[in-house]
Amino acid sequence: MSDKLEKLAHHALDSFKIELPSWGFANTGTRFGKFIQAAAAVSTEDKFSDAGQVHALTGACPTIALHVQWDLPKGISQTGEIERLAEKYRVRAGSINPNVFQDQEYKYGSAGNPDPSIRKRAIVHIVDCVAIAKKLKCRDISPWFADGSNYPGTQNIRKRIAWFEEGLKQAHDRLESDQRLLIEYKPFEPAFYHTDIADWGMAFLLAKKAGPRAYVLVDTGHHYQAQNIEQIVAWLLHHNMIGGFHFNDRRYADDDLTLGSIDPYQIFRIFHEIHTYEWETGTRADIAYMVDQSHNLKGKIEAMIQTVCTAQELYAKAALVKHAKLATLQQNCSLVEAEECLRDAFWQDVRPAIRDWRKGHGLPEDPLQAFRESGYLERITAERRERNTSPVNTYA
Ligand code: RM4
Ligand code: MN
Ligand code: MN
């Protein structure tokens, strides 16, 4: 790789940060069961510790996303504890994720529930999350709604739209001027007939109604098969409405597989849209890059390190696209040359450049190898084994 390209790759990596999900370190499963890993995080402290390891080895993950009910079940009174963990493990709290999908009350929905007292409960929880975020100096509140219905005729879709508009506006009005509400969409699961926020258009319209600090969050697993996700990203960039990503890969549905494990070109194309936008506008897209994955079979920390390294590789590759050249080729409709220009960047092996970048930053050249040699996994396996097999152990 030429010096010029290496510089471009390094420059891209300097500013690339990606947030880790606390829930990605805990035991999770499928709807058929949970296979327990002895090393999985049990407590919030374990999750901070694991995220801290990934950050120490990659230098790219200074924040950890928290799901309030799993990580701060006692709410705002636990923010002091979170601050202590952040300091101890050198990772800050990142996005704050409300839990409006698991309590029995939410059986027929949260912000879209026909019962006004349940809708209120959901919005009060989100408002509590805004306060928690304020206390922890976190910018983003990212609600995801499982709301919807399973059978035709069982719910009034338009009434539920209005309830969402009303509730999200109320939550938005409680934001500080530097906070943001990121609205995530998902077309299927757990509601299989209609989901209240099923796609980016619905999220976009709800965000617009909620107010100027609401944006759309794109979870790469939350699309129909073959949907053109980079086109959605381009539209959101065009309207200055993209707030963040939940990255993961998928083969069929919301599989939450390791980023780039199935289709790395997809993620490259998304990053390409962002780099192009930044090149054209001379501004940086203000996007929170976050991981949303749970690894049921792979070791959780290893999978997270793989994910971060893959994200860096694909982000750096996309930075190598020759934008001026591509713009001319597009203008002239030189189709094959334009496509080859994009593919040239994709097929560059950026790994040596990334190793150099890591060396230059005092990081291990191979974070996965360094993790394996660190003894951390053996230590936590021994420490957590008993807690993880205890029948009283729950998700959080
Ligand atoms: C959902 C969605 C949310 C995540 C939950 C746990 O499918 O992706 O972002 O918080 O799962
Ligand atoms: Mn998500
Ligand atoms: Mn999901």
CA nearest to 18, candidates 177, 354, 248: 248
Please list, in sequence order, all residues whose beta carbon lies within 8 angstroms of the beta carbon of residue 30, skipping any fewer than 6 positions away.
296
- Residue nearest ligand 1's atom 7 by CA: 254
d(CA 69, CA 174): 20
Q: Is the distance from the beta carbon of residue 97 to the nearest atom of ligand 1 less than 6 Å?
A: yes
Ligand 1, atom 10, lies closest to the CA of 144
Ligand 1 atom with least separation from CA of 184:
9
Mean pLDDT of 345-367: 98
Determine the distance separating the centroid of ligand 3 and the alpha carbon of 221, expressed in angstroms: 6
What values do phi and psi take at 295, rounded to 5? -105, 110
Distance (Å) from CA 114 to ligand 2 centroid = 25
Q: What is the DSSP letter of 75?
A: G
Ligand index nearest the alpha carbon of residue 95: 1
Give the residue carrying structure tokens 């929170």.
288
Residue 225: C-alpha distances to residues 10, 137, 187, 203 (Å): 34, 37, 11, 19
In the prediction, which pLDDT does 30 show?
86
- What per-residue confidence (pLDDT) applies to 390? 62
How far away, in angstroms, is 63 Cα from ligand 3 center? 19
For position 31, what pLDDT does the model report?
A: 85
Is the pLDDT score of 131 beyond 70? yes
For residue 356, list its beta bridge partners.
none
- Mean pLDDT over 357-377 rounds to 98
Count helices and strands in the chain by DSSP H and E runs: 15, 12
- Residue 355 Cα to ligand 1 midpoint, Å, equals 32
Q: How confident is the model at residue 200 (pLDDT cuts 50, 70, 90)?
A: very high
**b/e for 338-375, b at 16 or more Cβ within 10 A?**
beebbeebbebebbebbeebbeeeebbebbbebbeeee
Q: Which residues surround ligand 2, an ion (CB under 5 A)?
A: 219, 246, 292
Q: Tell me the mean pLDDT in the region 157-168.
A: 98
Is 49 a pocket residue for ligand 1 (Cβ < 6 Å)? no
Cα(263)–Cα(265) distance, integer angstroms: 5
CA distance 210 to 230: 25
Give the mean pLDDT of 34-60. 97
Q: Is the Cβ atom of 302 under 6 angstroms away from ligand 1?
A: no
CB of 71 closer than 6 A to ligand 1? no
pLDDT of residue 148: 98
The predicted model scores a pTM of: 0.97
Average pLDDT, the chain: 96
What does the alpha-carbon distance between residue 335 and residue 332 come to, in Å, rounded to a whole number?
A: 8
Average pLDDT over residues 174-183: 98
Asked whether the beta carbons of 199 and 216 are under 8 A apart, the reply is no
Beta strands in the chain (DSSP E): 20-21, 29-30, 33-34, 63-67, 92-97, 140-141, 148-149, 180-184, 194-195, 214-219, 242-247, 288-291
- How many A from CA of 203 to the centre of ligand 2? 13
Q: What is the structure's pLDDT at 102?
A: 94
- The whole-number pLDDT of residue 391 equals 55
pLDDT of residue 20: 98
Ligand 1: residue of 186, 217, 293, 294 to mutate (most ligand atoms within 8 A of CB) is: 186
Task: Give residue 115's Cα distance to chain centre.
Answer: 31
- Per-residue pLDDT, 29: 86
Q: What was the pLDDT predicted at 393?
A: 44
Query: Atom 3, ligand 1: which residue's CA is nearest?
Result: 144
pLDDT tens-digit readout, 294-319: 999 999 999 999 999 999 999 999 99
